[in-house]
Amino acid sequence: MSTSGSEASVYEQLIGIIKNISEDKQLKLLELLKQWNEQGNRDYNRKSCLIAVDYSSQDRFFRDFIQNISAGGVFIETREVFSAGQEIGLTFSIPNSQIPFRISGRITRTSSKGVAVKFLKVTGYQEEILNALVDKM
């Protein structure tokens, strides 16, 4: 990585700090940096929530909770082990609606806390519902 002037100073300071903290803190810092990087690359704003979700993958069924949601995807808190790239089907309730919301997605990231899921083939109607849900939160 080439840097110049004040950039080199910031880079060197970061490296110095990282070298002097415990491995546990380095791992936490790495996770935070990944999250910050992903937030900058998102097409939709995410909102924190706690919504029960039923989902399935490869003929296995699970029930956990959505921790955050956007019109583009969700983060599901789970202890189940999945792989990035796996497709899943999700069903959850939208507040004030009697009809379950069903959508398919692909796991884009896994962590010890859960999985990030990007929705696949979102119709205009589904996007409208998701945007309304996020706006109300």
Residue 8 pLDDT > 80, yes or no? no
- Tell me: do 123 and 89 sit in the same domain: yes
Asked if 50 and 66 count as a contact pair (C-beta separation under 8 A), the reply is yes
Residue 7 pLDDT > 80, yes or no? no
Residue 39 pLDDT > 70, yes or no? no
Residue 121: φ, ψ to 5°: 50, 55
Task: Please count the structural domains in the chain.
Answer: 2
Strands 101-111 and 73-77: unpaired
- Tell me: do 71 and 121 sit in the same domain: yes
- Tell me: do 18 and 79 sit in the same domain: no
- Tell me: do 26 and 60 sit in the same domain: no
- Tell me: do 94 and 65 sit in the same domain: yes
- Tell me: do 54 and 115 sit in the same domain: yes
Percent of the chain at pLDDT > 90 equals: 37
**Mean pLDDT on 122-126:** 85
DSSP characters for 87-127?
Answer: EEEEEEPPTT-SSPEEEEEEEEEEETTEEEEEEES--HHHH
- Tell me: do 90 and 118 sit in the same domain: yes
Question: Which tokens in the block code for residue 60?
Answer: 């296995």
- Tell me: do 23 and 77 sit in the same domain: no
- Tell me: do 83 and 107 sit in the same domain: yes
- Residue 56 lies in domain: 47-136
